[in-house]
A and B are shown apart, each in its own frame.
Chain A
Amino acid sequence: MQSCVCTGCGCLCDDIGVEVEGGVLSRIENACAKGVAYLRSAGDPARRPRSLVAGREVSLDQAIEEAADLLSGAENCLVFGLDSSTIEAQQAGVELARVLGAVIDDGSFFAFGDLMERITNGEVPTCSLGDIKDNADLLVYWGSDPPHTHPRHLSMFTYLTYSDFDPIGWLPKGVKLTCVDVRDSEFMSVCRPAFKIEPGGDREFIRAVMDAADTHPEAAAFAKLVGAAQFCVVFCGQGLTYSLGGDFGIFCEMVNGLAQSRRMAVIPMVAEANMRGFAATLREATGRVNQVSFSGGVLHGQRLSFLEQVRNHNADCLLVVGADPFATLPQGVMAELVDADIVCLSSFVTATTAAADVVIPVAVPGVEYGGKMLRMDGDEVSTAGVIEASYPHDADVLRRLLESAL
């Protein structure tokens, strides 16, 4: 057995055991079903893209040359993604965007609004997932459904890792598990207590918690629960992001208020393997975590978000790296790209590879090559390839594109 880091989601589970036979993973231990599907599909030729130009299969070199021509010939390039790439590839991607004078963005604003920037800037307390076991006494999953998004989150890092169990109920002792959500879910049924709120009601709920309002019994009960805790960790999901319209100001105000009397920590439930790494990489280069333009210096702002750029037809060439915006963003907006050239670097066949003019297949990070990544809590995790890649690393492709652009 070799050890392997699963890069299927932001948990970056580092206890995966694999056996390799004939260049594919023949046995996988410890991974969740989502992780197994991800790791196994690396060895499935039907799931891997081919080098394509205008739908025609070409050599890898031809695809890279065509991509370089499109990027160099474009007036306004838009670079999107990199959330699943290693930090080394992210650095190459940011440098390529700089040289091209491009706009660069990732999926972090769509997933977490301004929370990523606030966490990175230290405006709200956070902690390592490693600090939680046996220390945190209240775990709040807010607008997130970990069994569906991060199946091992509870057993790898939080509720089910605690050392001391109640022998009657087989529940961890000394810690409470709760959630705030708009839906009745299987996860909600195991939380004691759970807080069900109306869709879009998170802001009102937060305000009532801050005001200690008796008029909102659910919020009062939540405030009481947190009031009794010594160390509370809040895991934020996209449900909260969308309810707040991406503005986490009032949420951070609540957390910082609660942190006056106890330890509080906020961790975003990042879906992609290295979204935190992208935030750190871009911040190091520009002082910002997303929505940056290198056109005439370093600019930042909402008008530079991926969707705004697409909606306003600002880009004539789009470079997508390891992301699938054609599957995860409104199709009506993505249709605005009809006149733009699209270059896609991807490890798998996706809706975006189907839409791209140039497809460049790349290796699967953590399986076919290694590098550094930041887990959802910001802790660094080193990944190493366990099978020999027959595809190039995205970092190498990006460096080749960079050389062509210089």
Chain B
Amino acid sequence: MSPGSDLSVRILTAQDVYLAIAEQREGLGQAYEAQAAAVSLSPADMKAHDIAHRGNVEIGNDCGSIVVQARPDPGCPQGWGRMAASLYSMRLAAYDPAASLLPNTRVIEAVVRLTDQEVTPVSRLLAGSQDG
């Protein structure tokens, strides 16, 4: 792996109580965005790809793409990522009934790459928005 090259990951999503509280208190605002627009990656993967702590990364697959902050997580194996289940992860989630009767919202395959873009505002993930 070389710095700056694409990193293929499988992202595990899960419910996050802090995100749930932020959404309940303030709706889809800044607190929600701060909690949801983040991906935890293996420190080794981040080092190998020159991804800085809290550096912005674009995560994309056939379903769409988002820009979020990267955070190191020593408990995260190489090749894996973790995100809270949110509007951000749902941008990357798919539904293919030929593969499963359930939508693919829990283990999402995607590519992570460094970016200079700003974190995707949550407002752009809403239906009817420019990108929604």
* Chain A residues, Cβ within 8 Å of B85: 328
Bound-complex Cα distance A331 to B63 (A): 8
Bound-complex Cα distance A360 to B126 (A): 19
Whether B102 lies near A148 (C-beta < 8 A) is: no
| Interface residue tally on B, bucketed by range | 35 or more
Supposing A40-B25, A329-B90, A351-B28 touch, asked if A246 and B102 sit within 8 A by C-beta, the answer is yes
Whether A335 lies near B127 (C-beta < 8 A) is: yes
Partner of B126 from the list A109, A239, A326 (CB cut-off 8 Å) is A326
Bound-complex Cα distance A245 to B93 (A): 15
* Chain A residues, Cβ within 8 Å of B91: 331
Q: Is the C-beta of A299 less than 8 angstroms from some C-beta in chain B?
A: no
Supposing A34-B17, A246-B101, A330-B93 touch, asked if A355 and B128 sit within 8 A by C-beta, the answer is yes
Shortest C-beta distance, A43 to chain B (Å), equals 12
Whether B103 lies near A307 (C-beta < 8 A) is: yes
Q: Is the C-beta of B64 less than 8 angstroms from some C-beta in chain A?
A: yes
Whether A183 lies near B63 (C-beta < 8 A) is: no
Whether B14 lies near A199 (C-beta < 8 A) is: no
Bound-complex Cα distance A29 to B20 (A): 19
Chain B residue nearest to A114 (CB atoms) is: B101
Per-position binary interface string of chain A over residues 253-274, scored 1 when its CB falls under 8 Å from any chain B CB and 0 otherwise: 0000000000000000001000
Whether B27 lies near A46 (C-beta < 8 A) is: yes
* Chain B residues, Cβ within 8 Å of A182: 12
Partner of A329 from the list B12, B28, B105, B125 (CB cut-off 8 Å) is B105
Per-position binary interface string of chain B over residues 69-105, scored 1 when its CB falls under 8 Å from any chain A CB and 0 otherwise: 0000001000000100111001101110100111111
Bound-complex Cα distance A354 to B95 (A): 22
Whether B24 lies near A41 (C-beta < 8 A) is: yes
Partner of A34 from the list B21, B27, B86 (CB cut-off 8 Å) is B21
* Chain A residues, Cβ within 8 Å of B28: 349-351, 354
Per-position binary interface string of chain A over residues 33-70, scored 1 when its CB falls under 8 Å from any chain B CB and 0 otherwise: 11001101100101100000000000000000000000
Whether A242 lies near B95 (C-beta < 8 A) is: no
Bound-complex Cα distance A327 to B104 (A): 14
Supposing A245-B101, A327-B86, A332-B95 touch, asked if A351 and B10 sit within 8 A by C-beta, the answer is no
* Chain A residues, Cβ within 8 Å of B128: 354-355
* Chain A residues, Cβ within 8 Å of B15: 145, 148-149, 238, 271
Partner of A37 from the list B24, B63, B104 (CB cut-off 8 Å) is B24
Partner of A349 from the list B16, B27, B90, B107 (CB cut-off 8 Å) is B27
* Chain A residues, Cβ within 8 Å of B12: 182-183, 199
Partner of A246 from the list B95, B100, B107 (CB cut-off 8 Å) is B100
Known contacts A311-B97, A330-B63, A354-B127; 12 further A-B pairs (Cβ under 8 A): A37-B20, A41-B25, A47-B27, A145-B14, A148-B14, A238-B106, A308-B97, A328-B85, A329-B95, A331-B132, A335-B127, A354-B28
A–B Cβ pairs within 8 angstroms, 18 of them: A37-B21, A41-B24, A44-B25, A47-B27, A149-B15, A183-B12, A183-B75, A238-B15, A305-B101, A327-B90, A330-B63, A330-B103, A331-B87, A331-B91, A332-B63, A333-B95, A348-B24, A354-B28
Binding site for B on A (CB under 8 A): 8, 33-34, 37-38, 40-41, 44, 46-47, 109-110, 113, 145, 147-149, 151, 182-184, 199-200, 238-239, 241-242, 245-246, 271, 302, 305, 307-308, 311, 326-335, 337, 348-351, 354-355
Binding site for A on B (CB under 8 A): 10, 12, 14-17, 20-21, 24-28, 63-64, 75, 82, 85-87, 90-91, 93-95, 97, 100-107, 125-128, 132
